[in-house]
Structure 1
Amino acid sequence: MRRTTGAALLAALAVVTTACGATESPQVAPAPTPSPSPMSATTPGTTSTTPKPVQGTVSITPILSGRTLSLKVNFGGSVLTPKDRETHQDWTAPDYRGLWLGDNYTFGDGPDQGGTDPGQAYCEGATKRRTGNQTVTLPAIHQYAQPGTYTLTYTTKYCGRTGEIELKKHIQVEVS
């Protein structure tokens, strides 16, 4: 019975196709192509994939209380986990900020500067990607002696595919 039903269906399809004036056989739509992984990008016409770029971002906001400067720093993006110089294993960081390789800041009013040391962290051989976003406040990092406009420079580094990548931000600080 199935065979005769299938033959009847094909005959009906042929009548409908002829009645509609179609001269070609029905086409089957191609199967959809899978979309690339979110960790890779492809160029049309190629079969290889390349990883998405490692890209860290940093933004800074000064907080003044009189002439005392605190600094709000936001770290974001996708960075590679540094290695521990002693064990050569992936760096164990308690939070996203811990994956960044220290920082340095100058205040624009003389040779005084501040910052943190990356310690045992290094980038050679880093491959594990970590994406995140974290804001920290560096409290009372500087006291300006006089009112004025100063240029604060904040520098930090993270591990990218080619080693350490430095990010530097400059902002104007108005001290009353």
Structure 2
Amino acid sequence: MTDDLKDKFERLVADPPPPSAVPSEAVFAKVRTVRRRRTAGVLTLAAAAVVAIAVAAGNMTDIDSSPPVSHTPSAPTTIVTGPPTTTPTTTPTKTPSGTTTSSQVTGAVHTPKNNTPPPSSPSTSNTPAAPALGVHVSLKPTVKGRLLTMKVTLSGTALVPTAAGGTPLSTATTPFLDLLGGTQYFFGDGGQSGSDAGAVNCLSGTKRTTGHQTYTLQADPVGTHTYAKAGTYNFSYTVRYCSTKGWVPVTKTTTVTVK
């Protein structure tokens, strides 16, 4: 600093200039200046807010006046209009080939109601079916020397024949053989015999009878037949039974060996 400037500075400090205004007025002037600046800032912010509102109102031009879409996700709103429903879930199952198939469905499944009643099953009767008509014959020969004894077994179902007056025979007191239409048999050596059914008739429509009887043929007075010489003979037995078509014969044969 030069001496001239230094001298002027010292005089200024030693003898300052008098104040041009009252100190309080200077302070108030600064306060007013700050207030004016704040007021200008508030007005500026208010004007900016008005402009923003105007822009937002300009964007709401559709029918529903909805605000512009924003990218901020909002919380979902759930509206319940009825009882809760359960969605069926499927449990996947792995097959040996590696593919995944649906093996089980859980949850409530709505099944449509069908008011149509199920078709009725055909009614079945508890009445057992009537046995078929027919007679089975079984022969059992016994040979001692040259003597033959033959046992015959009859079993089956037949219509009950009627007596001479048209009355069906009694099935309670009449043997099964006598409810048949007689027998005839041949011993194979020329001899023959049989039994006569008597005065009975076979009429269709009468009730059925089921029976079983075993008896010995009465060829000789002692119940045997004697062959004159040794040999093999064919024995034949025939019996008749009453059916819807009248008398039906049934024939059974067997071999008899005489030594």
TM-score tier (shorter)? 0.7 to 0.9
Give SS of 1:154's match: strand
Structure number with greater CO (CA < 8 Å, separation at least 6) is 1
Q: What residue in structure 2 maps to residue 20 of structure 1?
A: 109
Q: Does 1:100 align with 2:180?
A: yes
Q: What residue in structure 2 maps to residue 80 of structure 1?
A: 159
Q: What residue in structure 2 maps to residue 123 of structure 1?
A: 202
- In the alignment, is the contact (CA less than 8 A) between 1:78 and 1:129 conserved in 2? yes
Q: Which amino acid aligns with 2:108?
A: A
Deviation at 1:30, TM superposition (A): 4.0
Identity of aligned residues (%): 34
Q: What residue in structure 2 maps to residue 39 of structure 1?
A: 129
TM-score, normalised via structure 2 length: 0.51
Q: Does 1:143 align with 2:221?
A: no
- Alpha carbons of structure 1 residues 126 and 174: separation in structure 2 relative to 1, 3 Å: farther
**1:3-59 Cα distance to aligned partner (Å, 9 max, x none):** xxxxxxxxxxxxxxx92342243866846622463235xxxxxxxxxxx53122212
- Using the alignment, how far apart are the partners of 1:130 and 1:74 within structure 2? 16
Give SS of 2:123's match: coil
Q: 1:89 aligns with which of 167, 173, 182?
A: 167
Q: Which amino acid aligns with 2:161?
A: P
Q: Which has the larger radius of gyration?
A: 2
- 5+ unaligned residues in a row in structure 1: which ranges? 1-17, 41-51
Q: What residue in structure 1 maps to residue 255 of structure 2?
A: 172
- In the alignment, is the contact (CA less than 8 A) between 1:82 and 1:126 conserved in 2? no
Q: Which amino acid aligns with 1:104?
A: Q
- Alpha carbons of structure 1 residues 126 and 23: separation in structure 2 relative to 1, 3 Å: closer
Give the alignment's Cα RMSD to 1 decimal.
2.4
Runs ≥4 residues deviating over 6 A: none
- 5+ unaligned residues in a row in structure 2: which ranges? 1-106
Give SS of 1:98's match: helix
- Using the alignment, how far apart are the partners of 1:123 and 1:79 within structure 2? 10
Q: What residue in structure 2 maps to residue 58 of structure 1?
A: 137
Deviation at 1:99, TM superposition (A): 0.7
Q: Which has the higher helix share?
A: 2
- In the alignment, is the contact (CA less than 8 A) between 2:203 and 2:244 conserved in 1? no
- In the alignment, is the contact (CA less than 8 A) between 2:168 and 2:206 conserved in 1? no
